[in-house]
Chain A
Amino acid sequence: MKARRIRLRPEIAGVALLAMVGTAWAQDFNITGFRTDSVTLYKDCKLEQATTVTKQQFQGPWPAKKDPTSSLYFNVMRDGARYCVKAFSVWTDQAVKVDKDSECGAKVAGRPPKTGAVRGVGEGCQ
């Protein structure tokens, strides 16, 4: 069987290239704020080239996406350059999934009063 050769016209190839670049940087979510007083931006995700942005300087939101190599970092594009930020240091608009069945739509019957002397992460449905 003969292989079919596909030739792209230059303008189509250009658009395709732009689209690929766009895809590479298509944002997944936004960074909406800082959890820490300041956040370090690592240029090109090289940890030695860093600049710092303070909470006061932040004028978000920043388009961002997950780093393909590490879940500890997010990628952001600022002034045409690619940066990495520590994921734990920022707030994002990513939705955190909650199992619908665990919501407290209805009060749990027969739940006894708390007896004190306990320490916990969540308070449960009140």
Chain B
Amino acid sequence: MTRSVRAVAALALLALTGCAETGSGGPGGGTGTTAAVPTWLGGKGMNATMFSTLKPGVYEPSTLAVGQEKDITLHRAEGFGFVRSAALEQYLNETRARLVAVSGKTNVPGRVIILADQTYGAVTTPDGNTYVTLGFIEALESDDEVAALLAHETSHELLKHHNSDILGDMQKKGQSLLELGMGAKAALAGHGAMGKSDTRTVQEAQLAGMATDKLVLPAWSRGQEREADFLGLDLLVESQQSAPAMMGVLEKLQAWEKASAESEQAFTGRLTQASQHNLNEAADVVYQKLLSGASVNHPKTEERISDTAQYLEKFYGSRELAEPKTAAWKAVRARPEVAQVLRNYKAAFAARRLYEQGKAQESYAMAKTALNGRQLTDAYPNWVFSDAAFALGRSGEGFAALRRAIASPEPVAVIYEDLITRNEQTNSLRTALEVCDTASRVFGGAPRFIPPKIRVLRKMGRTAEAESLTVSCSLNTPDFKRLCQQANQTPAGNVQR
């Protein structure tokens, strides 16, 4: 068995066993005890509260922080843009502020931003900004559940978990440099391709990189998730919120994961098919599985629930816990402005799903209901409506909606991508290039627009510029390396300036 095959086999086993090294605490878990966090993952939470390890004082920003506003601009380019609702944002930010206040840390940066996304997700960046999907916000049922979600996210920031990303980042950049160096060496020697030993060196570096990226860092990350659950729980107790709400949020996440997971059978089928195709693709499938945590049988969230319950019992079991409260959250959701946002985006999400299912007529009707009040000028609902309108041949309405979407104060990156593609299709390459540059400017130089620019430059015959951009993309934004390299394979067209 070759090294690559062994690596894929080992990863497949790991994926299918669902990270079995940690104990099962779920229903029918038998005698399994909840997993103590390994010491190498910073398992101090099991001997003392995470809260007791926090030193009060001025918060030191992460070394990976890029600046709060730049961070927001960059994240605007990921996904479908932001949802603006002053009352909702104010509620979320006040809740976060209360949690930060009890932490004892001062000058903690960041704010809460709502993503136009129907899935369940929340992330916190090194700049302290917390991005929460509207889908997740909609699912929260009490003041305490809102606080629990934000307490978990704020804990990542307070515990400086982002600093561990430096390892993966440096390794990826090092790998890109190695590949470029080997390629340059081959070119200087007059060979079109790398020698056997160089190829092996690059493959070994790639495997090491993949191992770090897909195994070490996710494992590290799992330990950090537990720490954030634990500190989040401490913050809830300290701020007089109902601590069991943390389990409530995790239960919702677990239910959503189950509802959205692909079956094990489908996964195995996909893996078999991919491995017949090529090994890298098979490895990719396995990695996606490992990372997704979305398998029905994957114990990740179930373990987190057990661990958090165990932690709550151990450190707060003898305390009188606060009862959950719903009044403030219900009140903010009932405010006309908030209710309208929630209702209209729900309709827009539903319309998008209908469109993806090929039901253009239903999508069109549903999207139309989302376009009222302030959402008449929001980018996402207009974009959804434009797609449905174009699909029905109503291009006038489609273009009008796209114009409203582009003019929205909260731009959405996919709209620019649509425009680039439409211009490429009609061979308006100069306009496509202009849209690439505009999009890059609007979204703070977001790397997402580098691959389409490389593609357009190649079509315009400007291959040297495309090559140079590919090199800089590989070095500076390793996550986009593959996409940039793929774009650089686009057949070169006649030179256009």
Interface residues of A (CB under 8 A from B): 32-33, 35-37, 55-56, 70-72, 86-89, 91, 93, 95-99, 101-126
Contact = CB atoms under 8 A, between A and B. Distances in A.
Interface in B294-336: 294, 305-306, 309-310, 312-313, 321, 323-324
Given A102-B256, A112-B77, A118-B124, A88 B28 contact: no
Interface of B: 25-34, 64, 74, 77-80, 117-126, 131, 133, 135-136, 138-139, 149, 152-153, 156, 161-162, 165, 168-169, 221, 224-225, 228, 242-244, 247, 249, 251-257, 259-260, 288, 291-294, 305-306, 309-310, 312-313, 321, 323-324, 346, 349-350, 353, 356-357, 413-414, 417, 447-448, 477, 479-480, 483
Contacts of B30: 55
Given A32-B27, A71-B324, A102-B256, A88 B224 contact: no
A37 B34 contact: yes
A111 B260 contact: no
Given A70-B323, A102-B120, A106-B356, 9 more contacts: A33-B26, A95-B255, A98-B259, A101-B118, A101-B350, A112-B78, A119-B162, A119-B228, A122-B122
A1 to B, nearest CB: 43
B260 A125 contact: yes
A14 B224 CA distance: 59
Contacts of A124: 117, 119-121, 133
A118 to B, nearest CB: 4
Nearest to B244: A88
Contacts of B447: 115
Contacts of A37: 33-34, 310
A72 B168 CA distance: 42
Contacts of B138: 99, 102
Contacts of B156: 119
A116 B221 CA distance: 11
B448 A101 contact: no
Given A87-B244, A101-B350, A109 B414 contact: yes
Contacts of B120: 102, 121-122, 124
A102 B78 contact: no
B293 A123 contact: yes
Given A102-B256, A125-B119, A117 B126 contact: yes
A78 B47 CA distance: 34
Nearest to B292: A126
Contacts of A111: 79
Contacts of B79: 111-112
Contacts of B74: 115
B125 A117 contact: yes
Contacts, number: 178
Nearest to A54: B31
A124 to B, nearest CB: 4
Contact of B346 (A33, A101, A117, A125): A101
Given A104-B260, A126-B291, A109 B356 contact: yes
A102 B224 contact: no
B15 to A, nearest CB: 13
7 contacts: A35-B34, A72-B324, A89-B313, A103-B260, A114-B479, A117-B169, A120-B153
Nearest to A104: B260
Contacts of B255: 95-98
A109 B355 CA distance: 11
A25 B118 CA distance: 39
Nearest to A47: B320
Contacts of A116: 165, 168-169, 479
Contact of B288 (A97, A117, A122, A126): A126
A113 B479 CA distance: 7
Contacts of A125: 119, 260, 294
5 A-B pairs with least C-beta separation: A120-B123, A35-B309, A96-B255, A104-B260, A106-B356
B123 A118 contact: yes
A125 B291 CA distance: 11
Contacts of B305: 35
A95 B251 CA distance: 10
Contacts of A126: 288, 291-292, 294
A91 to B, nearest CB: 4
Contact of B242 (A72, A95, A101): A72
Contact of A102 (B33, B123, B139): B139
